[in-house]
Amino acid sequence: MAKLLALALVATAALVACAPVTPARPAGQAVGNPLSMQYRCDDATEFTVRFADDGAAIDEPARGSQQLLRDAGGVTPQQTVYSNGRLRAEFGLGGRGDEASLHYVSPPLQLHCVRAAAP
């Protein structure tokens, strides 16, 4: 019986460790609303990302809107990856988890971005 209980605990811990992690919701953000954040990139590009369910919507004035789906990837529990056929976006990067990387397929472009301070 003790072995069965130990096996159940190990299995539960493994499932919890594999569960998807969504970026933390800022204080005051209503639970029913999508999580929305502003980012600024090294080349002065600015974009807004809205996280909802298993997807992310990126609105960038210069390149338009992109609908991305949750993707496998991420080296740490705080890192999340979303992609579609044109863009791969990684969030939760950097020591504080406030950095992002956008990888455009065509034309090839990689942008390093930092979450903008809340107003």
What is the value of pTM for the model shown?
0.70
| pLDDT digits 0-9 by tens, 37-93 | 999 999 999 999 999 989 999 999 988 999 999 998 888 888 999 999 999 999 999
Q: What are phi and psi of 64, to 5 degrees?
A: 85, -165
Question: What's the confidence (pLDDT) of residue 20?
Answer: 42
Q: Is residue 92 part of a domain?
A: yes
CATH number at residue 60: 2.40.128
Q: Is residue 3 part of a domain?
A: no
Q: Is residue 4 part of a domain?
A: no
The CA distance from 2 to 31, in Å, is: 40
Q: Spell out the residues 6+ positions from residue 44 whose beta carbon is closer than 8 angstroms to its own.
A: none
| Parallel, antiparallel or unpaired: strands 99-104 and 109-115 | antiparallel
Q: Is residue 105 part of a domain?
A: yes
Q: Is residue 106 part of a domain?
A: yes
Average pLDDT along the chain? 80
Number of domains the chain is built from: 1
Q: Is residue 97 part of a domain?
A: yes
Question: Residue 64: which domain range?
Answer: 33-115
| pLDDT digits 0-9 by tens, 96-118 | 999 999 999 999 999 999 999 87
Question: What's the confidence (pLDDT) of residue 19?
Answer: 40
